[in-house]
Amino acid sequence: MGKAEMSISRRRVLTGAAAGTAAATLGAITLSSKQARAERTWDHDADIVVVGGGAAGYTAAVIAAGNGDSVIVVEKADSPGGTCAKSGGVFWIPNHFALKAKGIADEKDDCLRYLCRYSFPEAYTPDSPTLGLTPDAYALLEAFYDNGSAMVDRVQALGALKVMHWDMWDLERMPPDYFDHAPENKTSMGRPLGPALPNGKAGNGPEIIGQMGDKLASMRVPVLLEHPAQNLLMNDDGESIGLQADHNGNAVNIQARKAVIFATGGFANNPDMLARYQRNKVYGACAAAVATGDIIPIASAAGAKLGNMTGAWRTEVVLEEALETHEVGSGAFMAGGDSVLQVNKYGRRVVNEKRNYNDRTEIHHVFDPSRAEYPNQLMFTVYDQRTAEAFAGNYPLPSEPTKAPYVLSGDTLDDLAAAISARLSELQPQIGDIELADDFAAVLGDSIARFNDAALSGVDPEFGRGEQEYDRAWTYLFAAPKVSEKWPANNMPNITMHPLSDEGPYYAIIVGAGVLDTNGGPVINAKAQILDKDDKPIPGLYGAGNCIASPSREAYFGAGGTIGLAMTFGYIAANNAHNEPVKQT
Amino acid sequence: MGKAEMSISRRRVLTGAAAGTAAATLGAITLSSKQARAERTWDHDADIVVVGGGAAGYTAAVIAAGNGDSVIVVEKADSPGGTCAKSGGVFWIPNHFALKAKGIADEKDDCLRYLCRYSFPEAYTPDSPTLGLTPDAYALLEAFYDNGSAMVDRVQALGALKVMHWDMWDLERMPPDYFDHAPENKTSMGRPLGPALPNGKAGNGPEIIGQMGDKLASMRVPVLLEHPAQNLLMNDDGESIGLQADHNGNAVNIQARKAVIFATGGFANNPDMLARYQRNKVYGACAAAVATGDIIPIASAAGAKLGNMTGAWRTEVVLEEALETHEVGSGAFMAGGDSVLQVNKYGRRVVNEKRNYNDRTEIHHVFDPSRAEYPNQLMFTVYDQRTAEAFAGNYPLPSEPTKAPYVLSGDTLDDLAAAISARLSELQPQIGDIELADDFAAVLGDSIARFNDAALSGVDPEFGRGEQEYDRAWTYLFAAPKVSEKWPANNMPNITMHPLSDEGPYYAIIVGAGVLDTNGGPVINAKAQILDKDDKPIPGLYGAGNCIASPSREAYFGAGGTIGLAMTFGYIAANNAHNEPVKQT
């Protein structure tokens, strides 16, 4: 039977979405039970259809196939991997095999205190049974703890991924968590894992996708590339029974006998959604280009409840790179030197420049009630010749000090201010009317003087730079110096700070708020089932990864906090989908 | 024909929503064209169905009836008025008749600069044709300017509402706008209007509802109370053709030949939605109890695009009142005295206490990247005997100084800190683990000393309290003193500040973030049509008021910024709905 015979009771959101032709919109289609079942046809079928071929989706697919389910992976891009393939490939997992092997206890009660305290600072209550969280929110973080380590063991046992303790690649250092100084964090080092290369070293994101992709191939799991999801297919009982994807302008109907697992990206590359759901301005995104939030209208049409839509994995981005492409190659994860500070348009420091990128970027979204503006909307990373040369190549510092078009310079602070002002004027059609304060250079001078005092004393009384282990340890990755005769090692009492030179040239890079990806979307429960607005699971519909409302909300537990959650909830989804009854079509 | 004969092709979101019985969920229903038309029945029918009997809905209804359309108003509560009936009834309108009568020009170009600058600080660009906004966002604000004054003229011409210049009731003062010091604001006084009582004085919210309700009655427009909206009814062409409401457990089907206008409230009284869409914690809401965001799932199921979901009309609320009921009688609109300041849990001032309630409340949502917490989640309004007595009755100051259970006191600052700590401990099961810093009392002492210096000099170098006309003018409404021999008038150079006494007793009130109502929801265009995710209008579906994504985003233009927008877009919706074709059912 041809696709044209397939009978679809169309809904409003489906106008134009006839079977066999390209679906013009995203949504959900109810297949009417009143049509003879024999009239329908499916282009593909499987027990479980996984939408999205990144970390969450590939984990779900290998777990599902390992459970004996037939699986199809549907991927929008022309190659698999999603944002994972652009990443360092680290995944943050509590209480895993490598910690256990080293005799490090990562107890459930302690770990959940850290997760809950960091994710819900406004609700955390130490002596509450759910630590102050709603039972649903607590259950999600508990599921992460309970399943993360088991997920790792399972993908290893399946031969889908070889996993090792991640020690910052060649640095061979244990990475501190991103809120390592939380009193609740009793195991603040060593939770990140990574994929092991054949040579025994840690790989990065493509290695996860490569190994898992090989495993999927060996298990004969099809990965349909260039098949963007268009519509969920539902039966009259409101159960998810498949997915309609688009392929080269044709609708492709894929039956999911047991379940559809959404494991796609967020909406980081959808500027319209960013404007509607996120505060202030998000200039750029590290996420893969396909992260355009397609699941939001699709799942909404199926009745899904949305959550954490204002949430994101945040990072600063180099303004001009983001303006050019929106999707950027990397975030500006840390100000990459020691004789470097960041100021706002008033010339004032407002944050510890070595704080982790997720929390640090929040500073851009602070609103000043008196001026009715975002005073830190853009920040200016200011540094001297030492940082330009000795730290060259620590992105965003270019490998040759002034060779990047986004690096501004001036012989004096006044000259630097003039260069920044000129650049802001050039960019005004794109960024609006952001001007340096008239006394910017003078206030910047004061800020540098105070910073230099702090560098000499080792203590930053304003923002505590270098006070926490995070600041110091991550400096080795994000701000590694090239020591030379001209630029000796930092011999100051606090290696994160070195006085700026009293003499120019001085440099500046303009940074704005960005995201790795957003992490809001359909709300799931601890079984990774997508919920409707009454908190009832939509039968046969699961979610994991950046496309769903993150269990961590705004918190980034440590390196790989993104992928660790994605893989774990992919695993949870696949295991629960395995027990789903076969749906009537 | 009985309701049971009505044939409905049910969707997932409608499980259990059989015609004639209570609809258990909210969503959209497509009425199948394949069913014989004759089989259908409607309980009521009208050209235009207005959902919500508040300021937006009543304006839409009187305008529609005035246009000759038959109208039905559907209201969830057992009395009309929504949040308007709890409000001061002020509406902020540009370039209105009373300004014109006084010869005050409120030019379009100037006014739009104010609206755009305040609503989109991160995008405002003076020399852009759309002032840096997207064309859609600009068009909404332009529509507000273009229609606001005409709306007022029309409701007056219809005899639906008698309108007067609002001069702060008995104070007879022109109220400055909420960002009166914006350089773009050329008409910063006099835009607020109010309903005129028979005695010539300004009434408040119930007066708007009363006068318009009388007019609706005289035009024989039914207002169906206790009819919460349940489902939009759509035809196979994706057009809105009516509404299914619930009444005493029965589904009531109301045909809208031309259009359905959603003019309901936000989701201020839906704690689950607040947690999912708003940042940090919203403790309480001024909005009517019925503001539970019902339109969000209903419109989402119809394919509507959502916007500004993180937005709200903000105000501080008295913590303990909000914890008790969530819906509160009033916001804590201003710290109601002169010898009064606000500090956070570290004892530090962080905001101009006389700034308008909308912008000021943003301070609660500032995130500290280093501590990974909201340091201003709760704020402590601290004052002395002068403010307690001379300003008694300026809510939240009770009319008898210590007679409100939420007023804490201590003979010394140490005692006060101990009283606050004890109260926070008592409240811990509800508010989580929020503790004063160990040195709170000492830092508070320093803050008071600096504040007292500022009061003596008249200049608040940290936060500019009293610098703007807003701070001074609104003090007369929110912080009116009872001058006596014991408490002489404030003779300081800046009437918003008076030194706190060196001697106790001292008092404190704990305040948290709240909202008047949220203002996110379906996105509309300049015709007030609700848009789908491709920005195409959903035929026959309009929106106005707090239920839609506010054209003003986070900005509160001035007194009545809420109701002014609501009435204007209600007017726009009714006029455009008038020209809608009659829909096939």
Spell out the SS3 assignment of B429-469.
HHHCCCCCCCCHHHHHHHHHHHHHHHHHHCCCCCCCCCCCH
Q: For the residues B123-132, what does the mean pLDDT come to? A: 96
Task: Write down the pLDDT at residue A104.
Answer: 95
Which of A16-25, A287-296, B235-244, B566-575 shows the lowest mean pLDDT across its residues? Answer: A16-25
Return the number of CB contacts < 8 Å for A and B.
190
CB contact under 8 A, B533 and A366: no
Which residues 279-318 of A are in CB contact (within 8 Å) with B? 279-281, 297, 300-303, 305-310
Q: Is B183 on the interface with A (CB under 8 A)?
A: no
Give the tokens for residue B198.
């028979």
| Residue A52 scores a pLDDT above 70 | yes
* Alpha carbon of A49: minimum distance to chain B alpha carbons (Å): 20
Task: Write down the pLDDT at residue A273.
Answer: 96
Task: Write down the pLDDT at residue A533.
Answer: 85
- Cα separation values, A57 from A73, A223, A556, A566, Å: 8, 11, 20, 8
B518 close to B311: Cβ distance less than 8 angstroms: yes
What residues in A contact B297, CB-CB < 8 Å?
303, 305, 533
Long-range pairs for B158-161: beta carbons < 8 A, 24 or more residues apart: B158/B62, B158/B63, B158/B66, B158/B215, B159/B215, B160/B62, B160/B66, B160/B211, B160/B212, B160/B215, B161/B62, B161/B195, B161/B208, B161/B211, B161/B212, B161/B215
What residues in A contact B12, CB-CB < 8 Å?
28, 30, 234, 238, 302-303, 538
Domains within chain B, CATH numbers bracketed = 1-311+519-585 (3.50.50.60), 315-515 (3.90.700.10)
Give, for A73, the enclosing helix (H) or strand (E). Answer: strand A71-74
Task: Write down the pLDDT at residue B32.
Answer: 55
Nearest to B369 among A297, A352, A433 (CB): A352
What residues in B contact A359, CB-CB < 8 Å?
367, 369-370, 372
For the CA atoms of chain A, what is the radius of gyration? 25
Q: Is B238 on the interface with A (CB under 8 A)?
A: yes
pLDDT digits (tens, 9 = 90+) for B355-378: 999 999 999 999 999 999 999 999
Q: What is the mean pLDDT of chain A?
A: 93
3-state secondary structure A167-210: CCHHHCCCCECCCCCCCCCCCCECCEEEEECCCCCECCHHHHHH
A106 close to A306: Cβ distance less than 8 angstroms: no
Say what angle helices B413-431 and B440-457 make with each other, to 10 degrees: 120
For the CA atoms of chain B, what is the radius of gyration? 25
Task: Write down the pLDDT at residue A278.
Answer: 94
- Dihedrals phi, psi of A515, to nearest 5 degrees: -140, 150
Share of chain B above pLDDT 90, in %: 91
Distance CA A39, CA A270 (A): 38
**Residues forming a β-bridge with A529:** A542
> pTM for this structure?
0.94
B406 close to B320: Cβ distance less than 8 angstroms: yes
Share of chain A above pLDDT 70, in %: 94
CB contact under 8 A, A302 and B367: no
CB contact under 8 A, B549 and A276: yes
Task: State the number of CA atoms in the 13 A half-sphere of B75 facing the CB.
Answer: 24
**Residues forming a β-bridge with A260:** A49, A541
Compare all CA atoms of chain A with the CA of B435 and give the residue at the minimum distance: A125
* Alpha carbon of B276: minimum distance to chain A alpha carbons (Å): 4
- Per-residue pLDDT band for A16 (boundaries 50, 70, 90) equals very low
What residues in A contact B302, CB-CB < 8 Å?
12-13
Pick the residue of B7, B8, B10, B11 with the most A CBs within 10 A to test the interface with A by mutation: B11
ipTM more than 0.90?
A: yes
* Alpha carbon of A112: minimum distance to chain B alpha carbons (Å): 16
Q: Is B502 on the interface with A (CB under 8 A)?
A: no
Q: For the residues B469-477, what does the mean pLDDT come to? A: 95
What residues in A contact B362, CB-CB < 8 Å?
367, 369
What residues in A contact B366, CB-CB < 8 Å?
366
* Alpha carbon of A161: minimum distance to chain B alpha carbons (Å): 34
Q: For the residues A271-288, what does the mean pLDDT come to? A: 96
What residues in B contact A522, CB-CB < 8 Å?
none
CB contact under 8 A, A279 and B278: no
Q: For the residues A146-171, what does the mean pLDDT come to? A: 97
- Dihedrals phi, psi of B138, to nearest 5 degrees: -65, -45
CB contact under 8 A, A276 and B301: no
* Alpha carbon of A360: minimum distance to chain B alpha carbons (Å): 5
| Residue A411 scores a pLDDT above 70 | yes
Task: Write down the pLDDT at residue B54.
Answer: 98
Burial grade of B169 (CB within 10 A; 0-12, 13-18, 19 or more): middle
Nearest to B372 among A359, A369, A533 (CB): A359
Q: Is B549 on the interface with A (CB under 8 A)?
A: yes
Q: Is A521 on the interface with B (CB under 8 A)?
A: no
Nearest to B374 among A30, A122, A433 (CB): A122
pLDDT digits (tens, 9 = 90+) for A132-150: 999 999 999 999 999 999 9
Distance CA B118, CA A329 (A): 33
Task: Write down the pLDDT at residue A13.
Answer: 25
Q: What is the mean pLDDT of chain B?
A: 93
| Residue A164 scores a pLDDT above 60 | yes
Task: Of A504, A287, A508, A315, give the one whose Cα is nearest residue A397.
Answer: A508
| Residue B104 scores a pLDDT above 90 | yes
| Residue B477 scores a pLDDT above 90 | yes
Q: Where are the alpha helices (DSSP H) in A230-285?
A: 271-277
- Per-residue pLDDT band for B29 (boundaries 50, 70, 90) equals confident
| Residue A12 scores a pLDDT above 60 | no
Q: If you search the block for the tokens 């006014």, which residue do you land on?
A: B111
Distance CA B12, CA A530 (A): 14
Q: Is B33 on the interface with A (CB under 8 A)?
A: no
pLDDT digits (tens, 9 = 90+) for A344-380: 999 999 999 999 999 999 999 999 999 999 999 999 9
Could you tell me which residues come within 8 angstroms of residue A38 by beta carbon, excluding any fewer than 6 positions away?
none
CB contact under 8 A, A359 and B367: yes
Neighbours of B491 (CB within 10 A): 7
| Residue A31 scores a pLDDT above 90 | no
Q: Is B425 on the interface with A (CB under 8 A)?
A: no
**Residues forming a β-bridge with B255:** B45, B242
Share of chain A above pLDDT 90, in %: 91
CB contact under 8 A, A279 and B279: yes
Q: For the residues A521-530, what does the mean pLDDT come to? A: 98
| A14 vs B44, more confident | B44
CB contact under 8 A, A11 and B11: yes
Give, for A45, the enclosing helix (H) or strand (E). Answer: strand A44-51
CB contact under 8 A, A297 and B533: yes
* Alpha carbon of A296: minimum distance to chain B alpha carbons (Å): 10
Q: Is B348 on the interface with A (CB under 8 A)?
A: no
Compare all CA atoms of chain B with the CA of A536 and give the residue at the minimum distance: B13
Q: For the residues A301-307, what does the mean pLDDT come to? A: 93
Could you tell me which residues come within 8 angstroms of residue A436 by beta carbon, excluding any fewer than 6 positions away?
A345, A347, A417, A420, A421, A424
CB contact under 8 A, A301 and B306: no
CB contact under 8 A, A13 and B534: no
Task: Write down the pLDDT at residue A335.
Answer: 87
| Residue A195 scores a pLDDT above 50 | yes
Classified as helix, coil or strand, B284 is: strand
Task: Of B478, B325, B326, give the one whose Cα is nearest residue B395.
Answer: B478
B27 close to B17: Cβ distance less than 8 angstroms: yes
Task: Write down the pLDDT at residue B6.
Answer: 28
The sign of the dihedral angle between the CA atoms of B175, B341, B268, A517 is positive
Cα angle B411, B414, B418; round to 5: 95
* Alpha carbon of A298: minimum distance to chain B alpha carbons (Å): 9
Distance CA B227, CA B376 (A): 40
CB contact under 8 A, B13 and A182: no
A147 close to A572: Cβ distance less than 8 angstroms: yes
Task: Write down the pLDDT at residue A2.
Answer: 32
Compare all CA atoms of chain A with the CA of B366 and give the residue at the minimum distance: A366
Task: Write down the pLDDT at residue A32.
Answer: 55
| A451 vs B9, more confident | A451
CB contact under 8 A, B179 and A306: no
| Residue B250 scores a pLDDT above 50 | yes
Neighbours of B270 (CB within 10 A): 21
Q: For the residues A518-545, what does the mean pLDDT come to? A: 97
- Per-residue pLDDT band for B495 (boundaries 50, 70, 90) equals very high
Could you tell me which residues come within 8 angstroms of residue A570 by beta carbon, excluding any fewer than 6 positions away?
A55, A56, A57, A58, A59, A60, A63, A151, A261, A263, A528, A544, A545
| A31 vs B144, more confident | B144
Q: Is A13 on the interface with B (CB under 8 A)?
A: yes
Distance CA A467, CA A320 (A): 32
CA end-to-end span of chain A, whole Å? 16
Dihedral in degrees, nearest 10, Cα atoms B226, B21, B40, A234: 110
CB contact under 8 A, B310 and A359: no
pLDDT digits (tens, 9 = 90+) for B31-84: 654 443 445 689 999 999 999 999 999 999 999 999 999 999 999 999 999 999
CB contact under 8 A, A9 and B32: yes
- Could you tell me how many residues make up chain B? 585
Q: For the residues B210-226, what does the mean pLDDT come to? A: 98
CB contact under 8 A, A367 and B355: no
Which residues 107-166 of B are in CB contact (within 8 Å) with A? 118, 121-126, 128, 132, 134
- Cα separation values, A512 from A314, A392, B168, B250, B374, Å: 11, 21, 42, 53, 22
Nearest to B124 among A352, A369, A433 (CB): A433
